[in-house]
Amino acid sequence: MPNRKTNSKFTKLSHMHNIFLKVCTSLALLAVIFTTSQAQDNSVDKIIAVVGNQVVLKSDVENRFLSLQAQGYTSGGVDLKTEIFEDLLIQKLMIAQAQVDSIEVTEQEVENDLQRKMEMYIQRIGSKEKLEQYFNKSIVDMKNELRDDTRNEKIKEKMQAEITKNIFATPAEVRELYKSIPSDSLPIIPGELQVQQIVKNPKVSNAEKDRIREKLRGFRERVMKGESFATLAVLYSEDPGSAQRGGELGYTPRANLVPEFANEAFNLKPEKISKIVESEYGFHIIKLIDRKGERINVRHILLKPRIAQTERDSAIQQLDSIADMIRNDKIKFEEAAYYYSDDKDTRNNGGLIVNPYNATSKFEKESLPPAIAKKVNDIKIGEISEAFLDVQQGKESYKLIKIKSETKSHKANLSDDWSQFENMLKSKKQQVLLNKWISEKQASTYISIDDSYKNAAFRFKDWIK
In which residue ranges of the chain is CATH 1.10.4030.10 found? 15-169+429-463
Among 278, 344, 345, smallest CA distance to 2 is for: 278
DSSP element (H, E) containing 51 = strand 47-51
Over the stretch 319-357, which tens digit does the pLDDT of each residue have? 999 999 999 999 999 999 999 999 988 999 999 999 877
Reported as a single tens digit per residue, the pLDDT across 33-45 is 555 555 444 445 7
Is the model's pLDDT at 76 over the cut of 90?
no
Quote the distance between the C-alpha of residue 134 and its chain's center.
24
Q: Which pLDDT value is given to residue 14?
A: 35
Residue 358 has a pLDDT of 74
Cβ–Cβ < 8 Å for 237, 231: no
% of the chain beyond a pLDDT of 70: 88
Determine the average pLDDT of the residues in 285-308.
92
CB 238 within 8 A of CB 282: yes
Determine contact, residues 334/226, Cβ cutoff 8 Å: no
Q: Is the pLDDT of residue 140 over 90?
A: no
Question: Other C-beta atoms within 10 Å of 385: how many?
Answer: 20
15-169+429-463 has which CATH code?
1.10.4030.10
pLDDT at 44: 59
Helix (H, G, I), strand (E, B) or coil at 79: coil
- Residue 100 to residue 155: CA distance in whole angstroms: 12
SS3 164: coil
Burial 402-420 (b: 16+ CB within 10 A, else e): bbbeeeeeeebeeeebebb
What does the pLDDT look like over 436-460, one tens digit per residue?
999 999 999 999 999 988 888 899 9
Over range 185-209, report the average pLDDT: 93
Q: For residue 115, what pLDDT is reported?
A: 79
- Could you tell me which CATH number the domain at 191-203+308-408 has? 3.10.50.40
Q: What type of residue is 323? A: A
74: pLDDT confidence band, cut at 50, 70 and 90? low
Residue 75 has pLDDT above 70, yes or no: no
Span 190-217, average pLDDT: 94
pLDDT band at 464 (very low <50, low <70, confident <90, very high): confident
What average pLDDT score do residues 305-332 get? 95
Strand residues in 123-166 grouped as ranges (E)? none
Length of the chain: 465
| DSSP state string for 302-353 | EE-PPPPHHHHHHHHHHHHHHHHHHHTTSS-HHHHHHHH---TTTGGGTTBP
pLDDT of residue 132: 79
Please give the average per-residue pLDDT across 95-104, as a whole number. Answer: 92
How far is the CA of 102 from the CAs of 150, 184, 429, in angstroms? Answer: 18, 46, 25
Mean pLDDT, the chain, whole residue set: 85
The mean pLDDT value for 83-103 works out to 93
Can you give the pTM of this predicted structure?
Answer: 0.61
* 206-303 carries CATH number 3.10.50.40: yes
Q: Give yes or no for a contact between 160 and 13, defined as CB atoms under 8 angstroms apart.
A: yes
pLDDT value for 79 = 84
Sequence ranges of the chain with CATH classification 3.10.50.40:
191-203+308-408, 206-303
